Amino acid sequence: MEYINGGVCAAKGFKASGIHCGIRKNRTKRDLALIVSDKKASAAAIYTLNLVKGAPIYVTKANIADGKAQAVICNSGNANTCNANGIEIAEKMCELTADAVSIDKNDVIVASTGVIGQPLDITPIAEGMNELVSNLGYDNSGNAAEAIMTTDTILKEFAVSFNIGGKECRMGGIAKGSGMIHPNMATMLVFITTDAAISPEMLHKALYADAQKSFNMISIDGDTSTNDMVAVMANGMAENAEIVAEGEDFDIFCNALAMITEKLCKAIAKDGEGATKLVECFVDGGKDWQTAKTVAKSVICSSLFKAAMFGADANWGRVLCAIGYSGADVDVTKIDVSFTSAKGTVVVCENGAGVEFSEEIAKEILLEDEIKVNINLNDGDTSAVARGCDLTYDYVKINGDYRT
């Protein structure tokens, strides 16, 4: 397996587009994205667990209940959430897309992201549909990735090539996510395409299992959004034997998916609103997955710890504190902690107690833009990784007037 270029257009038979249609006032920002498969594809998706859900989620759930889809339509600038006519607007987006690309309206995945509680006018979407479709291209993933961004500062797109049964397969993904990131799903949207042949049931199984260790292990600010969605389309144009059960081919597919999702998760975490650093928490020595997961997420979600990372302060006590209130069943007298970056590693805690270390070296390590906090629970052989970022002044500035 290897990383390649192309994003959601890397796989055979997928074209994409992204334009500014007028939902967003800033004409320099694209606000409408479209991804279309040449063939109807197996489809699977997972969604936010927030009880308040964007209207597009309900429509997408209904549309892919048969495990099939052929297009994704997504707008930014308005979440289409908590609107009286939200379902109607989301369904109309599907109808407009279906008519424009000559597919069934029930084969459209629809998504929205942006401000909650403001009516979404269908007019700019309808008026922009011809331009959106005319700009569709097999090398146009970047425009679609840009069009789904809100407070994101960088494009998030990756692709991989892999082999199943002697057939080259490709998979690519784009994502948006910068704030309101705290999955059980995050304001996170991810769209993944692949030309591998896989049944809808196995596609969902692969996606759901992967999300537990990828998307559900990132946190920016502790807020679970209303519109989170990760959707995958697999059109089978690589012509491998269809994956219909677990086995070697399924494992290869899952590994390729993990390569994509890991890259997307790191990009989302590093691009957190106001963030200056990607922070990853690696937990080893857990007695089981749930314990390691709980510890990793608790540390990465700690506002005090995140603030310390912003200040390059090796305040390891905040790590122990977060472990202590996590609810995980751990022996605190066994815990080791260290910090790592491109500048090296500093050990700050052994057996639950502090050790002497150079504050100057520690600060040099923590001034880097990618930091790892390493925790060994010394109580088993299970590991987990959670990802997030530092907490900065700019996070408050961005969210203080996000709506107005």
Question: Which residues are marked as active site?
Answer: 187
Which tokens in the block code for residue 353? 């107690």
Dig out the tokens for 398 from the structure.
């961005």
Kindly give, in sequence order, each residue whose CB lies less than 8 Å from that of residue 118, ignoring residues fewer than 6 positions away. 78, 79, 83
Q: 384, 212 in Cβ contact below 8 A?
A: no
Q: At which residue do the structure tokens 């498969």 appear?
A: 37
Q: What is d(CA 262, CA 102) in angstroms, rounded to the nearest whole number?
A: 34
Of the candidates 260, 263, 177, the one whose C-alpha atom is nearest the C-alpha of residue 221 is 177
What residues contact residue 373 under an 8 Å CB cut-off, 6+ apart?
279, 280, 281, 282, 299, 305, 319, 337, 338, 339, 340
Nearest Cα neighbor of 4 from 350, 229, 256 is 256
Could you write out the DSSP letters of every residue in 321-368? HHHHTS-----GGG-EEEEEETTEEEEEEETTEE----HHHHHHHHTS
**Residue 388, Cβ density class (10 Å: 0-12 exposed, 13-18 middle, ≥19 buried):** buried
Token pair of 251, please? 């494992």
Q: What is the C-alpha to C-alpha distance for residues 199 and 19, in angstroms, rounded to an integer?
A: 32
Nearest 10 degrees: Cα torsion 100, 104, 107, 112: 40
Nearest in space to 338 (alpha carbons), one of 266, 379, 281: 281
In 271-316, alpha helices (H): 289-301, 303-310
Taking Cα atoms as reference points, which of 99, 100, 97 lies closest to residue 108? 97
Token digits of residue 375: 């925790």
